[in-house]
Amino acid sequence: MALALVSIFISIPLASCFPTAFQELVETDKNRTSIKFLAIGDWGGVPYPPYITAVQKATAQEMSKIAEQVGADFVLALGDNFYYKGVNSVDSPRFKATFELVYTAKSLKIPWYVVAGNHDHVGNVKAQIEYSQRSNRWCFPAYYYELNFRIPNTHKTLTIIMLDTVMLCGNSNDYSDAQPKGPLRQVDANRQLVWLQDRMARSKADFLLVAGHYPVWSVSEHGPTQCLLQQLHPLLIKHNATAYLCGHDHNLQYIEESGVGYVVSGAGNFLDPDVRHWNHVPKGSVKFFTGQASTLGGFVHAEVAQDKMTVTFYQAKGTSLYRIVLPQRKLD
């Protein structure tokens, strides 16, 4: 497997997915002092007509409302972008049926920064990367990559490290609580891990986020991912990461442990109230959980300001469910 990695420096507003160099900020709102984004995982429809689910449709509609009312500069798409077997080529009709024709609101015509999930890896992830050349908002430059933002009208910065947790840990059986079986190619997993260690060690960002598909901590069907507990968890703590965002389990969760926020946003297409691993996370760490069908779906909105990051969980039927404020990162 040919491996690509990239570090991207971006200013707000975003004229394109990936400017070739860091640009001076040209801001239309001179009073603005934050970056806002949505995070959604496991949103990828179904492989038969109408190619979407009721949860995906309802969630897309509420995402568009929140993006319009509260604001959003981009979307983090946290994997399982196309159920059940990804796409087979860049010409797959699923890009249109499950993505372009679902998230149609003007407020969602913003960059979507994409990582692959386990279902995507059953298909052709390279085709999803190639689709970045076909769409002006589908931004998937490599299996894993880094995003760097300057918060408008401040000297503060935000870094988001986008991981391919399937390449790192292996694929999983999505129909059981089985753990990933180990990477398909150990050399690729090792290369990504070395890159991750280097990027986190170098980061001087005021807010440092890491995003991937598999959870580090989760109380639901798939539970904590042992591979990530061994390889990623120590790095998040060592380097004072602000938060880790993921999907995989089809619900919304907020878990806080050792000063790091763990955000599960996997309610974009299906809902699962399963809590079989409630006792497999640190006692008292679960601050919020919902996977109830009555929510109609859900997603996360985040705002990164000068000295804090506010994370809000929304249900598709139109109300916020939980909000947490995370402090600026402490640098040694």
Annotated binding-site members for Fe cation? 42, 80, 83, 118, 213, 248, 250
Closest CA to 232 of 220, 221, 242, 244: 244
Rg of the chain, C-alpha, whole Å: 18
CA angle in degrees (0–180, nearest 5) for 270-262-205: 125
Closest CA to 315 of 329, 331, 294: 294
- 29-65: buried (b, 16+ CB within 10 Å) or exposed (e) per residue? eeebbbbbbbbbbbbbbbbeeebbbebbbbbbbbbbe
What backbone phi and psi angles, to 5 degrees, belong to 147? Answer: -115, 135
- Show Cβ contacts of residue 28 under 8 Å, excluding neighbours closer than 6 positions: 13
Residue 323 has a CB neighbour count (10 Å cut-off) of 13
Residue whose token pair is 């491996």: 3
Q: Do 295 and 251 contact (CB within 8 A), yes or no?
A: no
Beta-bridge partner residues of 124: none
SS3 315: strand
Which residues have CB under 8 Å from 99's CB, separation 6+? Answer: 81, 138
- The per-residue b/e assignment along 257-278, b for 16 or more CB within 10 angstroms, e otherwise, is beebbbbbbbbbbbbbebbebe
The annotated binding site is made up of: 42, 80, 83, 118, 213, 248, 250
Contact 210, 244 (CB under 8 A): yes
* Contact by Cβ (8 Å): 159, 208: yes
